[in-house]
Structure 1
Amino acid sequence: MYSEDLQIHNGSLEVEKIHNTWYNKYKNLNYGAFITFVGIIRDENEIDGLSFDVYEPILKSWFNSWQEKAKKQSAIVFLAHSCGDVVNHTSSYIAGVCSPKRRVALELIDEFVEDFKKNAPIWKYDLKAGQRIYAKDRSQKIDGAGILV
């Protein structure tokens, strides 16, 4: 999936390229704030990196609801995430907000990133010794997900 404001990339993200594309797109809107958050894979627990599965239909719906929320505050949200393997010390996640006022952008980026971690349909795996191991202990149940009985 690729649109300018919601992007899914295979493997590690090209942070500078993605960031600069968004910056160049929005810098002339006369907004006072452009904030990005970049997530970087840490070298810990003897992992070689992380791997991700993305369920794009739900992600698109989740993202569209955030675009509407941001629009009500005259702001814009944007997001890029990796699918597949991402090695340590590279990025799998970039989120951003552009708004006329800094306070709106600062509050929205915090809410947006936290809600993403809680509700985005992305599953994380550890990469260890060439194997992909589901990171169940660091995963969260998505609200509304589950098997209907």
Structure 2
Amino acid sequence: MNYLKLTFDKLDVGALNDQVAHESCGAVSLFVGTTRDNFEGKTVVLLQYEAYEAMALKTMNLLCEEVRARWPDVVHIGIHHRLGTVPVKEASVVIAISSPHRKSSLEAVHYTIDELKKSVPVWKKELYGDGEGSSEWKENSECTWSKKYKDNHIL
């Protein structure tokens, strides 16, 4: 089963872990992406996330299909992404995957976060603690539609 969610609420890592756990599985692998307090020498005070929600959920479902095709023994997949304001140290994304053995779940989690960043239409804005209230929408260099990606890859 897939447990997919976009939410403005604080993410509950333990609850998602419990959702994907299964009696046939000896492994639940987790990735928790959190807001850090710095980026390229700037002090970050919080992130703000926006999404094209219908397309994001559709893309997340397709990603789950890809994961299941690559790792057929994966049992449950959970992907929860925060929207709105995410302060420093709080989770912005949680991925949890269960499988009978750790190899599949670990590889699948790594693949899932990389592909999520490349393909799911979620955008973030960094707000800086520079006393001026400055901020910047961040382009994810892993997104295939980004200028950074196109500059570094032959299409």
User: Which bin holds the TM-score, normalised by the shorter protein?
Assistant: 0.7 to 0.9
Counterpart in the other structure of 1:5: 3
CA distance in 2, matches of 1:141, 1:24: 30
Unaligned runs of 5+ in 2: 147-155
CA RMSD of aligned residues (A): 2.4
CA distance in 2, matches of 1:111, 1:82: 19
CA gap 1:32/1:117 in 2 versus in 1, 3 angstroms: same
Determine helix, strand or coil for the equivalent of 1:140.
coil
Counterpart in the other structure of 1:77: 77
Structure 1 residues 117-148: Cα deviation after superposition (integer angstroms, max 9, x where no partner): 11111111011354543124xx2374368xxx
Question: What is the aligned counterpart of 1:62 among 45, 59, 64?
Answer: 59
Determine helix, strand or coil for the equivalent of 1:116.
helix
CA distance in 1, matches of 2:44, 2:100: 41
Does residue 95 in structure 1 map to residue 92 in structure 2? no
CA distance in 2, matches of 1:141, 1:107: 18
Question: What is the aligned counterpart of 1:20 among 14, 32, 57?
Answer: 14
Runs (4+) of structure 1 exceeding 6 A deviation are none
The count of aligned residue pairs is: 137
Give TM-score, length-normalised by structure 1.
0.78
Give TM-score, length-normalised by structure 2.
0.76
Amino acid at match of 2:35: I
Amino acid at match of 2:136: I
